[in-house]
Amino acid sequence: MDKVKVTIDGQQIEVDDGSYVLEAAKSLGIEIPTLCYYPYMAPYAACRICCVEAHGVGGWSKIVTACNYPVWDGLEIYTDTPRVINARRTNLEMLMANCAPVPVLHRLAQQLGITEPRWKTDTNYTCILCGLCVRICDEVVGAHALAFINRGAKRDVSTPFQLDSESCILCGACAKNCPTGYIKMEEIENRYIVHKEMNLSPNAAITLPFRQAVPNVPQIVRENCIHYKTGGCMVCAKVCPKDCIDYGDRPKFEEVEVGAVVVATGFDSFDPSPMKQYGYGKYPNVISSEEFEVMNNAAGPTGGKIVMENGEEPRAIAILHCIGSRDHDYHKYCSRVCCMYSLKFSHLVKEKTSAEVYQLYIDMRAFGKGYEEFYERILDEGVNVIRGKGAEVVPSGYRQHEEGHLIVRCEDTLIGKYREIPVDMVILSTALEARQDAKEFGRKLNISTGADGWFIEAHPKLAPVSTTTEGIFLAGACQGAKDIPDSVAQGGAAAAQAMKLMAQGEVMMDAAYAVIDEAFCSGCKMCNDMCPYTAITFDDAKKVSVVNSALCKGCGTCVAACPAGAIMARNFTDEQIYAQIEGMLS
Amino acid sequence: MAKPKLAIYWAASCGGCDIAILDIEAKILEVADFFDLVFWPCAMDFKYDDVRKMQDKEITLTLFNGAIRSDENYEIAKLLREKSVVLCAFGSCASEGCIPGLANFTDKQTIMDYVYKTSPSLEPGNNVVPQTEVKVFEGTLHIPNLWNTVRTLPQVVDVDYIIPGCPPQSNQIAAVIDAVVDILKNGKPLPPKGTVLGASDKCCCDECKRKRDVKKIKKFIRPFEIVTDPEICLMEQGMVCLGPATRSGCGAKCVAAGVPCRGCYGLPSNIRDQGAKMASALASVIDSIDEAEVERILDTVADPLGTFYRFSLPASLLRRVQ
Amino acid sequence: MSFEPRIVGFLCNWCSYTGADLAGTARMKYAPNVMTVRVMCSGRVDPAFVLDSFRAGADGVLVCGCHFGDCHYVEGNHKCMRRIAITKRILKGMGIQPERLRLEWVSASEGARFQEVVDSFTEEIRALGPMRLKEWAFIPEQVEAAAAAHGE
């Protein structure tokens, strides 16, 4: 593209021919005030605040709007001559004449030295009719939901017929960019949930999947992105200096050949909403342990402050143990980590607030290294520990000033009394449970899940990281509830097992596996679906089924299924079993 | 050189096997030409005494069809065993009991009572039941005693070879005859004792032209309930087809015509109980992991016992109802 | 002499056999009537094994596998359940009380349950009495004697 030389306030710069003065000034670091300019859209020069003085060859000069005045070779621009200031002042005063003094105009007025606008109005109308909203909706978003309506003094921006527009995609681009705040998004959800925000910013179209994600790369959330609704916008692509934005990017299936798999799919946090007695989901200040952790995060939605729904600091917090664990209605097992994290919570609460903390526990299981000591430290910090499971959380609406607060009912089994504890916030120490899709996922890997849904290890004592499928190892909470040290240890063990397998370069097979005798197999395919390890495939050329002995685990279910007796379970043959029966009973 | 001697006998059978022998068409002339037919009660008039008078091992080959369910069957089986070099269990009845073998689901008394006393086609009050001994003017008549249990030929005498099928297919019979002629004429070695002739080691599916895939069955249906898809495996269509547990050799004619295999060619060599194996395979492909639903699906198998053991009950592990 | 049932037990390697082992190492006492055949999975148990056991003189057959969801081979026990269901029908048709065949899920940790299953099953079979196979074997002398009795 051709370059032209322009001089702005005495500084010369070479810019692209066809660009505008405002952009040239920006690249020189000279600020020109403007209200209606949006960098990714054609200039419109509606607010006329960006006035500058243009000097041409031959000594002529005139006031132009910087945003849409194209540069040309030899152009001289002055941005702060008295003539420019005067023009800006007049334009601003005229905007203010029709518009209530919204902060942005006020600030500009101060900058330009206007103490009292010449024309006054007592309207509370705040639109300066710059049309930024209309243009963004048209040009960037592509929803075409907004337009100017009426004429002259009645001119305004609105949706067609001033009704709720079907074209509006609720992207909020108009409201976000409105210089005066005339356009507002109405909040439909009125509940302020402090803890649901797991992303960098809620509802943003570009987010990190979660903090500490690997790779830590932002992604576009299609449901929230304007581009996928209207085909327009694409502002992020214009902004990104590295051209990283790819709208055509889709989830891709990558096939990776590996020699071993370590399953570390983790756990799900138990959802306490079915336990109606605790009012989770009903009372905003009843939160789960996971949500408390998010709140506690310095980078979290509350900046690490422990606050209630109304933003105030709680005066008393109850931490209820064993929500969903050690409970015959939900999970019978102990989730192992809750006692300790609950103690950690009380420590954090004590550190950050002056709230009273109540721990309601069944048994305090502080079994690890240094854990018991930590428990004692908590006791020293003045945490109230009550032996007795929290029975119920009820709102305390008895007296006026207590409204919105909570009462935890429990039986203190150490003093043998029923207690009602008034608190502001309740933290439910929810159970760890197997991932919802663990069973389905396990089927893909041919590893099995136990009754609780955790993946089953090959042997509870002797092979706690291996699975029944060779080359697949378990690490962490996918195998059972466990804390971080245990997970790390198991992860290391699983990695070592996997490395061992790879270093060996060969696999030892069990002697018990199935073999199909081609001479007897007629390819009825009865067995093809039997194998949980997909070791049986059909040989289309020979029209017989074939067992891949490396995949076969020797369970023999195909052997029992084969109606022709063509499959032999090595070391557990029909003949051997018949001989055992005969031998035992003869 | 004297012609080799051939005997064909029928015990408890329908005669279909004898007809199947005749069905080899022009080849029967070759048989008549090559062999000296010494005993074939179905086709010609022979007396047992003729056989009794023979030397031991005088008959080169005996094709024995029919199950053993009376003293007479047993006596002749023993007799033919003595007189024959090679005794061949011919057809499903001799080798595994076949349809007469279904009598093992009940007992002699019930059968006699029904046939001679309670059958609706009898005059009410009929009480004439055959006796094993009847005294008449000329002396005492003996009627062979009917056994309570139907047995297969290999269960009562030593059998050299088995030719399965109900009846054995004519082309297979012709092939066997060719092989026998070949052995006798050209001195080819005999196959090892116990060999199943006129059939292969594989299953009926091997000869079945239908397309097969993984089977998942939610409901069993009977052949009359649907119009079968001519391309797809009958079992995938929900029928109980015994093809997978039945020796091949028949050419899969029934299945080709849309009728599920009933299992007449008997069990393949590697298994011990055709019915149990078929049941196991069938249960394996039932598409449910819920016990109650499995029971419901199994309820849709009409007459499971008769289906799984239609031809093989006397040769099965339990042999008869207990 | 009182009737001592002879029971063939097919135990899966991972759960029931280990469970039986546990019962043993825990010195639990259970009826000695069950003779075990170890199979890798209850899914290996062929209906023919059950029939053959009765044929060979068993008074009862016990099949034990892992609980649903616990199967070492993912779902071999489901297949076993289906096969046992059809086997019971065969037994019934063959005139053998289906109660003589029992399917139980015993996990590796349920030594006590194994003890209880074996004891209760043994008692049940004892109550049912011995299995007597009718004319299963072909005994020529008997046939000939019977024929002679009919006046040969």
- The H or E element containing residue A252 is none
- From B24's Cα to the closest Cα of chain C, the distance in A is 35
- Please list the residues that pair with A420 across neighbouring strands: A409
Do B270 and A564 count as a contact with CB atoms less than 8 A apart?
yes
For A275-323, write each residue's pLDDT tens digit: 999 988 888 889 999 889 888 887 767 778 888 877 888 999 999 999 9
| Span between the terminal Cα atoms of chain C, in Å | 40
Secondary structure of A91-122 in the HEC alphabet? HHHHHHHCCCCCHHHHHHHHHHCCCCCCCCCC
**Residue A271: is its pLDDT beyond 70?**
yes
Domains and CATH numbers, chain A: 3-112 (3.10.20.740), 132-177 (no CATH), 187-249 (no CATH), 271-433 (3.50.50.60), 434-504 (no CATH), 514-585 (3.30.70.20)
At A189, the pLDDT band (50, 70, 90 cuts) reads very low
Q: What is the rounded CA–CA span in Å between residue B276 and residue C90? A: 8
Do A563 and B244 count as a contact with CB atoms less than 8 A apart?
yes
- Give me the interface pTM, i.e. the ipTM: 0.94
**Residue A199: is its pLDDT beyond 70?**
no
Strand arrangement of the beta sheet that strand A316-323 belongs to: A286-288, A425-430, A316-323, A356-361, A384-387
Do C86 and B304 count as a contact with CB atoms less than 8 A apart?
yes
Q: Which of C55, C61, C71, C86 to mutate to test the interface with B (most CBs of B within 10 A)?
A: C86
Hey, is the C-beta of C148 within 8 angstroms of any chain B C-beta? no
| Residue partners of A151: CB distance under 8 A and separation at least 6 | none
Do C138 and B151 count as a contact with CB atoms less than 8 A apart?
yes
- Please list the residues that pair with C8 across neighbouring strands: C35, C61
Per-residue pLDDT of chain B (322 residues; tens, 9 = 90+): 688 999 999 999 999 999 999 888 888 898 888 999 999 998 888 889 989 999 999 999 999 999 999 999 999 999 999 999 999 999 999 999 999 999 999 999 999 999 998 888 888 877 888 888 888 899 888 888 899 999 999 999 999 999 999 999 999 999 988 888 888 888 888 899 989 988 988 999 999 999 988 888 899 998 888 888 889 999 999 999 999 999 999 999 999 998 999 999 999 988 999 999 999 999 999 988 889 999 999 999 988 899 999 999 999 999 999 8
| Residue partners of A518: CB distance under 8 A and separation at least 6 | A542, A544
Do A563 and B270 count as a contact with CB atoms less than 8 A apart?
no
Coil, helix or strand at residue B245: helix
Q: What is the rounded CA–CA span in Å between residue C94 and residue C92? A: 5
Contacts for A240-249: CB closer than 8 Å, 24+ residues apart: A245/A220, A247/A220, A249/A220
For B178-234, write each residue's pLDDT tens digit: 888 888 888 888 899 989 988 988 999 999 999 988 888 899 998 888 888 889 999
Q: What is the rounded CA–CA span in Å between residue A572 and residue C45? A: 11
Coil, helix or strand at residue C122: helix
Q: Touching B: which chains, 3+ CB pairs < 8 A?
A: A, C
- From A168's Cα to the closest Cα of chain B, the distance in A is 49
Backbone phi, psi, residue B304, to 5°: -60, -40
Ramachandran region, residue A535 (left: φ > 0; alpha: ψ -120 to 50; beta: rest): alpha
**Residue A202: is its pLDDT beyond 90?**
no
Among B residues 237-276, those touching chain A with beta carbons less than 8 Å apart: 243-245, 248, 268-272
Instruction: Give me Rg for the CA atoms of chain A.
Output: 35
State the average pLDDT over residues C45-71.
92
Do A562 and B281 count as a contact with CB atoms less than 8 A apart?
yes
Among B residues 92-121, those touching chain C with beta carbons less than 8 Å apart: 105
Coil, helix or strand at residue A169: coil
Q: What is the rounded CA–CA span in Å between residue A561 and residue B253? A: 25
Residues of C in contact with A586 (CB under 8 A): 56-57
Under 8 Å between Cβ of A455 and A243: no
- Please list the residues that pair with B89 across neighbouring strands: B64, B162
Under 8 Å between Cβ of A343 and A452: no
Do C8 and A581 count as a contact with CB atoms less than 8 A apart?
yes
Contacts for A573-577: CB closer than 8 Å, 24+ residues apart: A574/B270, A574/B271, A574/B272, A574/C46, A574/C48, A577/C37, A577/C39, A577/C46, A577/C49
Q: What is the rounded CA–CA span in Å between residue B249 and residue B151? A: 24
Q: Touching C: which chains, 3+ CB pairs < 8 A?
A: A, B
- From B243's Cα to the closest Cα of chain C, the distance in A is 18
Q: Is the C-alpha dihedral spanning B305, B306, B307, B309 positive or negative?
A: positive
What pLDDT, on a 0 to 100 scale, did the predictor assign at position A197? 38
What pLDDT, on a 0 to 100 scale, did the predictor assign at position A194? 38
**Residue A516: is its pLDDT beyond 90?**
yes
| Span between the terminal Cα atoms of chain B, in Å | 53
Backbone phi, psi, residue B310, to 5°: -55, -40
Tokens of B187: 């001195």
At A335, the pLDDT band (50, 70, 90 cuts) reads very high
Do C76 and A557 count as a contact with CB atoms less than 8 A apart?
yes
**Residue A402: is its pLDDT beyond 60?**
no
DSSP B225: G
Coil, helix or strand at residue B168: coil
At A530, the pLDDT band (50, 70, 90 cuts) reads confident
Please state whether beta strands A406-412 and B84-90 pair in parallel, antiparallel, or not at all (unpaired): unpaired
Tokens of A462: 């002797």
At C99, the pLDDT band (50, 70, 90 cuts) reads very high
Under 8 Å between Cβ of A319 and A292: no
What pLDDT, on a 0 to 100 scale, did the predictor assign at position A399? 58
* CA-wise closest residue to A47 among A22, A26, A13: A22
* CA-wise closest residue to B307 among B261, B272, B273, B259: B261
For A154-174, write each residue's pLDDT tens digit: 888 988 888 888 888 877 888
Q: Which of B196, B285, B307 to mutate to test the interface with A (most CBs of A within 10 A)?
A: B285
Do C75 and A532 count as a contact with CB atoms less than 8 A apart?
yes
Under 8 Å between Cβ of A13 and A19: no
In Å, how far from its chain's centre is CA A508? 43
Query: How far, in Å, are A127, A173, A174 from residue A137 at the CA level?
Result: 16, 7, 7
Q: What is the rounded CA–CA span in Å between residue B272 and residue A352? A: 77
Nearest C-alpha in C relative to B303 = C93
Do B276 and C48 count as a contact with CB atoms less than 8 A apart?
yes
Nearest C-alpha in A relative to C84 = A560
Domains and CATH numbers, chain C: 7-149 (3.40.50)
State the average pLDDT over residues A481-506.
91
For A104-155, write each residue's pLDDT tens digit: 888 898 888 888 888 877 788 888 889 999 999 998 888 889 999 988 888 8
Q: How many CB atoms lie within 10 A of CB A238?
A: 12
Q: What is the rounded CA–CA span in Å between residue B10 and residue B176? A: 19
Do C44 and A578 count as a contact with CB atoms less than 8 A apart?
no
> In chain A, pLDDT over 90 holds for what percent of residues?
45
- pTM (global) more than 0.80: no
Tokens of C80: 């076993």
Residues of B in contact with C76 (CB under 8 A): none
Hey, is the C-beta of B205 within 8 angstroms of any chain A C-beta? yes
For C62-91, write each residue's pLDDT tens digit: 999 998 877 888 888 999 999 999 999 999
Hey, is the C-beta of B286 within 8 angstroms of any chain C C-beta? yes
Return the CATH number of B5-99+148-186, one of 3.40.190.80, 3.40.50.700, 1.10.287.610, 1.10.287.130: 3.40.50.700
Do B298 and C78 count as a contact with CB atoms less than 8 A apart?
no
Hey, is the C-beta of C53 within 8 angstroms of any chain A C-beta? yes
What pLDDT, on a 0 to 100 scale, did the predictor assign at position A478? 94
Tokens of A436: 């919802």
**Residue C120: is its pLDDT beyond 90?**
yes
* CA-wise closest residue to B11 among B75, B59, B106, B54: B75
Do C85 and B316 count as a contact with CB atoms less than 8 A apart?
no
Among A residues 508-537, those touching chain C with beta carbons less than 8 Å apart: 512, 530, 532-533
Among C residues 60-79, those touching chain B with beta carbons less than 8 Å apart: 68, 75, 78-79
Domain ranges of chain B: 5-99+148-186, 105-147, 204-315
Q: Touching A: which chains, 3+ CB pairs < 8 A?
A: B, C
Give percent helix, percent strand, percent coil of chain C, each to the nearest 5.
Answer: 45, 15, 40
**Residue A59: is its pLDDT beyond 50?**
yes
Amino acid, single-letter form, for residue B10: W
Hey, is the C-beta of B278 within 8 angstroms of any chain A C-beta? yes
Compute the CA torsion angle B274, B277, B278, B284 (nearest 10 deg): 180
Hey, is the C-beta of C151 within 8 angstroms of any chain B C-beta? yes
Backbone phi, psi, residue A200, to 5°: -60, -50
- From A548's Cα to the closest Cα of chain B, the distance in A is 17
Coil, helix or strand at residue B90: strand
Q: Please, what is the angle between helix C111-128 and helix C16-25, to 10°?
A: 100
Coil, helix or strand at residue A52: strand
Do C49 and A443 count as a contact with CB atoms less than 8 A apart?
no
Q: What is the rounded CA–CA span in Å between residue C84 and residue B279? A: 10
DSSP A18: T
Backbone phi, psi, residue A444, to 5°: -65, -35
What pLDDT, on a 0 to 100 scale, did the predictor assign at position A190? 40
Among C residues 72-111, those touching chain B with beta carbons less than 8 Å apart: 75, 78-79, 81-83, 85-87, 89-90, 93-96
Q: What is the rounded CA–CA span in Å between residue A180 and residue A195? A: 31
For A531-545, write each residue's pLDDT tens digit: 888 899 999 898 999
Beta-carbon pairs below 8 A across chains A and C = 95
| Residue partners of A75: CB distance under 8 A and separation at least 6 | A4, A6, A7, A21, A54, A55, A56
Q: What is the rounded CA–CA span in Å between residue A229 and residue A247? A: 12
C53: nearest CB among A533, A561, A581 = A581
Residue reference for tokens 């987010």: A207
- From A471's Cα to the closest Cα of chain C, the distance in A is 15
Q: What is the rounded CA–CA span in Å between residue B129 and residue A150? A: 114
Q: What is the rounded CA–CA span in Å between residue B245 and residue A564? A: 5
Instruction: Give me Rg for the CA atoms of chain C.
Output: 18
Q: How many CB atoms lie within 10 A of CB B40?
A: 17
Residues of B in contact with A563 (CB under 8 A): 203, 244-245, 271, 277-278, 280-281
Do A565 and B270 count as a contact with CB atoms less than 8 A apart?
yes
Hey, is the C-beta of B220 within 8 angstroms of any chain C C-beta? no
In Å, how far from its chain's centre is CA B312? 8
Instruction: Give me Rg for the CA atoms of chain B.
Output: 22
C44: nearest CB among A442, A468, A559 = A559
What pLDDT, on a 0 to 100 scale, did the predictor assign at position B1? 62
Q: What is the rounded CA–CA span in Å between residue B13 and residue B9? A: 10
Cis upstream peptide for A215 (omega within 30°):
yes
Q: Considering chain A, what is the average pLDDT of its residues?
A: 87
